[in-house]
Amino acid sequence: MVWTQDAAGPFQTVPCEGNSWQEDGRPARHPHEYVRDGTAKMLTLFHPRSGEVRARGVTSCPNVVLHAWLKEELSAILATMSPKAVRERSANGELWKRWQQDLQCPITLPAQLPTLRMLIVLDNLAGHKTPEMVLWMFSRGIMPLYTPLSGSWLNMAESVQRIIKRRVLQCQHPQTTDEIINLLEATVRGWNREPTPFEWGGKRAARRERSRQRRHALGGSGACVRRPLRQRSTITQQ
């Protein structure tokens, strides 16, 4: 089972841009003044295969807040999983080590490892690598995997957060951080009523590939044409 984790925000109590339906010549207007009321963030766990999102709105997320929430949610997820299969010690160790191959900074694994039950993808932040938190995950069969620097696009939690943020704040002007948090959590509950699974190379990637195949590249540049250009024949005079 693979889960991804990230924190969205900070979101301010300011007028937010976005598209909206308006009468001709009457664009949406927001006040030029606003009251600062701090910021809000959203702690997110995302399961790409099912599309399920687990989230909590907070006004700040130091390690003491993030780690407590992660432990609570990960324990609840493990409790819903089927009983862990028993593997031979050597086979189980190789399974853990396989996820450390080719890493520039592999994690030192404990000598005694439980059955591997979950992979969790995290940003490459110092707070995600504290020994206490990493050992807690190891003891419960969870392998943390960190995205490389400038590789946050590999974390699908980033993608689902972008969708939720747009649904919550587009064309809105929240007045307080509590209002932002309530909107974020309500939108997540609505998403989970009919979640959308994510996958690498899905239907959208197939459409892009078909579109590329219908184009014809022009030599010497990155431009393309929809139809191949006719080649002008040259006749060499004797």
**Which CATH number is 55's domain given?**
3.30.420.10
Domain-located, residue 226: no
pTM recorded for the entire structure: 0.75
CA-CA distance, 199 to 53, in Å (whole number)?
Answer: 15
The count of other CB atoms within 10 Å of the CB of residue 128 is 19
Residue 54 bridge partners (DSSP): 45
Mean pLDDT of 108-126: 85
pLDDT band for 85, please (50, 70, 90 cuts).
low
Whether residue 144 is contained in a domain is answered as yes
What pLDDT band is residue 45 in, cutting at 50, 70 and 90? very high
Does residue 74 register a pLDDT over 90?
yes
Compute the distance between CA of residue 182 and CA of residue 57 in angstroms, rounded to an integer. Answer: 8
Is the pLDDT assigned to residue 238 strictly greater than 70? no
Number of domains in the chain: 1
203 is a domain residue: no
CB 198 within 8 A of CB 51: yes
Q: Which of 85, 77, 83 is nearest to 50 (CA)?
A: 77
pLDDT(237) > 70? no
Kindly tell me if the per-residue pLDDT of 48 is higher than 80. yes
Asked if pLDDT for residue 193 goes beyond 60, the answer is yes
Q: Mean per-residue pLDDT for 130-146?
A: 89
Residue 231 within any structural domain of the chain: no
Q: How confident is the model at residue 64 (pLDDT cuts 50, 70, 90)?
A: very high
Confidence band for 21, pLDDT divided at 50, 70 and 90: confident
Asked if residue 152 has pLDDT above 90, the reply is: no
Residue 175's contacts (CB-CB under 8 Å, 6 or more residues apart) are 13, 35, 37
For residue 47, give its domain range: 2-193
CB of 144 closer than 8 Å to CB of 137:
yes
Q: Which helix (H) or strand (E) holds 79?
A: helix 63-80
Do the domain assignments include residue 217? no
Residue 238 lies in a domain: no
Instruction: Tell me the one-letter amino acid at 67.
Output: H
Alpha carbon distance 93, 113 (integer Å): 7
Region for residue 7 given its phi and psi (left: phi exceeds 0; alpha: psi -120 to 50; beta: otherwise): beta
Q: Check residue 223 and give its pLDDT.
A: 76
pLDDT at 231: 67
- 79, 118 in Cβ contact below 8 A? no
How, if at all, do strands 142-146 and 118-122 pair? parallel
Whether 222 maps to a domain, the answer reads no
Please indicate, yes or no, if residue 224 is contained in any of the structural domains.
Answer: no
